[in-house]
Structure 1
Amino acid sequence: MQFTGTERYVAPPELAIAVNAAVTLERPLLVKGEPGTGKTELARQVAESLGLPIIEWHVKSTTKAQQGLYEYDAVSRLRDSQLGDERVHDVANYIRRGKLWQAFEAEQKTVLLIDEIDKADIEFPNDLLQELDRMEFHVYETGQTIRARHRPVVIITSNNEKELPDAFLRRCFFHYIRFPDADTLRAIVDVHYPGLKPRLLDEALSQFFELREAPGLKKKPSTSELLDWLKLILAEDLSPEDLKRDAGAILPRLHGALLKNEQDVALFEKLAFMARRQR
């Protein structure tokens, strides 16, 4: 089982090496990088490439580690007991299986995505240490021990919003997805928009990188935002000449696909004003 990328996902060699190393070591793969660099999509494409089903656990700020194992619905059991429901005599009827339980119980090997783990509180990763290490956990209400039939390929993503505990990091294989260079971006664009005219792509990439490299930018546009921008450019049937800007027009056409906050728009408006004063 070797991952090399797919027709729809351009995986740089170092990323493919990281995926395959994590699979070989049977360690979770912790993937960090800027938002929009394809971390979540990586897990889906790994599953497709290896011919495995995927189970996705999208973490929120309110998510608790226990929810990934199971939840005991005591409220429903109490209500059923008041109604005289026979189901109340079997506590298993009130156990909701979490994503880890689903992955452990699967008939075949799966890919388990734990997406944006850094959104949860700092104890979240520590609370999963033993379960991800031993691939088992105990259900106290029923006395069961749930063990993985097949060790899943675990891919964990983080936007680096907070530091993860050292004990958790020791158990992972780590890879940071760097922002693609121009050649890799061209390959990615070719996957999504094959046959895009070279001159149009050259002009778009030139403006895109100029935008990303502007000093003081709060949020740099990502790969996914470049693809959205190109989709709009194609929908509007713009030519390379349409994209070109004069000295006073700092903001690119359809810039709302690239700049996502008012501070960055104001920054470029200020640059435009300064450019006009110098003319």
Structure 2
Amino acid sequence: MKFTGTDRYVSTSELSLAVNAAVTLQRPLLIKGEPGTGKTMLAEEVAESMGLRLIQWHIKSTTKAQQGLYEYDAVSRLRDSQLGDDRVHDIKNYIKKGKLWEAFESDETVVLLIDEVDKADIEFPNDLLVEIDKMEFFVYETGETIKAKQRPIVIITSNNEKELPDAFLRRCFFHFINFPTPETMQQIVDVHFPEVKKTLVNEALEAFFDLRNVPGLKKKPSTSELIDWLKLLLADDVSADALINKQGSSAIPPLHGALVKNEQDVQLLERLAFMARRERL
């Protein structure tokens, strides 16, 4: 089955091609792009469109590669041995399976999401090279080798916070999600708000892209923030006229807290709006 997007997810032809190429090659798909461009949601929609179970491993700064395989709880075993618990005789009672183990032991193909791999230590990707490449790993405590019954579709996301090792990149099929064009963004908005008046959507998109183009903006608003902003505009029944920038000034859009997420950018927009008002006087 080929991935072409879903009713809830607009996929460009390049993105669909990347997903299908990674599946054909049986290699992990490494997805990069701005935060909020739908990288995590892609894995959810790939699983949905192909009728597969999704296993999600969300990476934190403290996450270790070993946690994706398994963890051995030696402390609990020691405590149980002191209490005379019969569970202590079977070491498997103290092994917690990780997300990779869960994916490997599945009888059916699953989609495995390794989300925001660049948040972890720089050695994290290197520590998973063999397991992802060979689709197997060794459990030292039990002496068994866990092999994937069905090779999972692996999707790895990165926000480009750290450079990933070359050896890791070599094993992946790579795709960078470019920020949507106004035309693609229109399609995304139509998916989420099919009943919204076109005038409001057009003015909101124009204000949104104008905001992204403001020089010196520290954090540009993302696709997900645009969707949140439109929800608020609808909830507060904001008219399209309130978004129209008739004088071409850099006024702050209503409910801008959904789009602008730090005080430096708010101050920048306030200064631009003040300067624009002075020019009109």
TM-score clears 0.5: yes
Distance 2:45 2:36 in 1: 15
For 1:264, the equivalent position in structure 2 comes to 265
| Rounded Cα–Cα distance in structure 2 between residues aligned with 1:154 and 1:116 | 13
The structural deviation recorded for 1:246 is 6.3
CA distance in 2 between partners of 1:82 and 1:218 (Å): 57
Query: Corresponding residue for 2:33?
Result: 33
Query: Can you list the C-alpha shifts for 1:35-84, whole angstroms capped at 9, x where unaligned?
Result: 00000000000001111101000000000000000000001001101100
Cross-structure match for 2:252:
251
- 1:155 aligned counterpart, secondary structure: strand
In percent, how many aligned pairs have the same letter?
Answer: 72
Deviation at 1:276, TM superposition (A): 2.3
Secondary structure at the counterpart of residue 265 of structure 1: helix
**Corresponding residue of 1:49:** 49
> 1:103-139 CA distances to partner (integer Å, 9 max, x unpaired)?
0001100000000000000000000000000000000
2:227 counterpart of 1:216: no
Q: Is the 8 A contact 2:60 2:119 kept in 1?
A: yes
CA distance in 2, matches of 1:276, 1:6: 45
Q: Does the CA contact (< 8 Å) of 2:250 and 2:272 recur in 1?
A: no
Query: Match for 2:279: what amino acid?
Result: Q
Match of 1:12 in 2: 12
Q: CA deviation at 1:250?
A: 1.3
Structure 1 residue 96 and structure 2 residue 96: aligned?
yes
Unaligned runs of 5+ in 1: none
For the residues of structure 1 that align with 2:250 and 2:219, how far apart are their CA atoms?
Answer: 20
Distance in 1, Cα, partners of 2:129 & 2:99: 15
How far did 1:14 drift? 0.3
CA distance in 1: counterparts of 2:225 and 2:232, whole angstroms: 11
The answer as to whether partners of 2:250 and 2:269 remain within 8 angstroms in 1 is: no
Give the aligned partner of residue 152 of structure 2.
152
1:128-156 Cα deviation digits (max 9, x unpaired): 00000000000000001000000000000
Give a deviation string over 1:137-191, Cα, whole Å, max 9, x none: 0000000100000000000000000100000000000000000011111111111
- Could you say which residue in structure 2 is the equivalent of 1:170? 170
Structure 2 SS opposite 1:60: coil
1:277 deviates by 2.4
Deviation, structure 1 residue 266: 0.7
The alignment of Structure 1 onto Structure 2 pairs a total of residues equal to 279
- CA deviation profile, 1:215-242 (whole Å, cap 9, x unmatched): 0011000000000000000101111112
